[in-house]
Structures are given as structure tokens and as C-alpha cells.
Amino acid sequence: MNQISRHMRPSSSERQAGLIAAAASLFAEKGFNGTTTREIAKAAGVSEALVFKYFPTKRLLYAAILAEKVTVNELLEAVEEAARKHDDHRVFTLIASYRIRPDVDSTLLRLLLFSALEGHELSDMFFGKHHKVFYDHLAAYIRTRVEDGAFRAVDPLLAARAFIGMVVHHRLLHEIFGVPMHQSHENTVATYVDLFLTGLIKKPDNKTPERQSR
């Protein structure tokens, strides 16, 4: 009788997910203080009262969003495989092109910035899951390559942050400040990787000439 077509009521968890999705989009767009619970309810297609049935306070709804969004592991796996092969170029290109690509969604970046600026208590965790993992992995890789003698003796953490900085700054410019793209995504990534790796890879030095053929 009562098929899906008519008045199928979403389950409790589906409602929660729907509310989180609607709220995440609004919070990313206008910030925590700039978003009203009425808007969230309307976007999710329910009454305002129901929002509070699922999330006792607006702040708990916000916390649920930050806690839910998890990092993607497929990228880190691909990075680690490239790392095993000592394929420097691929490691850096993978990381950069994961963030610099045509259809990238700015929701998470905006949420991250808003949560940090507005001083939410879960901001640290959110930052850790979404950004710290990247430069921690990268720093670890750079450290091993320095020990290999393939990279110059730089501080691995600073170097990793420098590279991530290029990428994040690029996203800030285009996704937050609306600066138009200067070159294609591929060219941008290629330029950043090239610039950075050239500065990092140990060259046969002019001062102490030692032969190194690879």
C-alpha cells in the first residue's frame, strides 16, 4: 500500500544527515552567526521545531557538522604508493592537484576558515583532520628524502608547510577572494611543483663538485 512514492518518511538518521547537509551548506556560505535556525529548517524541508528535536542547540548542530566531515584516505594511499617509489614529482603533484582542480568544492574550506575565525571549540579537530594530515605526511616524506640525500638539508616541516602554503593560498585566492584563474589548473599545479622541487632537489653543486648520475 504505502510505497515509497507517496509519503515515505525519512528515518531518523536520514533526517539527521539531511539537516547536517543543509546546515553545512548554509554555515559555509554565511558563517555560524550569519545563519538562522529557520533558514536551516527551511533548507532541510522541515519545521524549525524539528531541528531542535535532533540537535538541542544550534551550536551542537554546528559541532556535528565539523565532527562528521572526515578526510579522504584514497589520496593519502596514492601518495604513499608514490612515496614508496621515491617518485618525488608524483607525490607533490598528487597533493597539489587534489586541491587544485576544476570542480573543487569550497564548502569545506569555508567551514574551516569560519570555524577558526569564529573560535569554535572543534575548529582544532577539524583543522587536524583536513589539513594537518597533509603536511604531516608530506613532512615525513621530505624527511626521508633528505636522509636519502636526494633533497637538500631543509627543515622538513617548514618545507612541507611551504608547499602546502602555495596550494592553500591558491585556493584562498580563487575560492574565497574570487580572483580569476590565471592559468589552467594543470599548468598551475605543474608550475608550483616544478618551482618547489627545483628548490628542494640536491643538485651536483658548483662548490663541491661531486658526480651524481641517476
Q: Which residue ranges make up the site for DNA (CB under 7 A)?
A: 2, 7, 9-12, 15, 35-38, 46-50, 52-53, 56-59
Adjacent-strand bridge partners of 201:
151
Contact partner at residue 149 from DNA, its own copies, none, CB < 5 to 8 Å by partner kind: none
Give the burial class of 185: count Cβ atoms within 10 A of its Cβ; 0-12 exposed, 13-18 middle, 19 or more buried: middle
Around Cβ 60, how many Cβ atoms within 10 Å?
A: 12
- State the Cα–Cα distance between residues 67 and 61, nearest whole angstrom: 10
Adjacent-strand bridge partners of 151:
201
- Residue 61 CB, shortest distance to DNA, in Å, is 8
- Residue 30 CB, shortest distance to DNA, in Å, is 10
Residue 73, Cα to own-chain centre: how many angstroms?
Answer: 12
Contact in structure between 35 and 22 (CB atoms under 8 Å) = no
Site string for its own copies, 100-139 (x = CB under 8 A): ----------x--xx-xxx----xx--x------------
- State the Cα–Cα distance between residues 26 and 32, nearest whole angstrom: 8
Contact partner at residue 193 from its own copies, DNA, none, CB < 5 to 8 Å by partner kind: none
Nearer to its own copies, 15 or 170 (CB): 170
Per CB under 8 A, residues contacting its own copies are: 30-31, 33-34, 110, 113-114, 116-118, 123-124, 127, 152, 154-155, 157-159, 161-162, 164-170, 172-173, 176-178, 182-183, 187-188, 191-192, 194-200, 203-206, 209-214
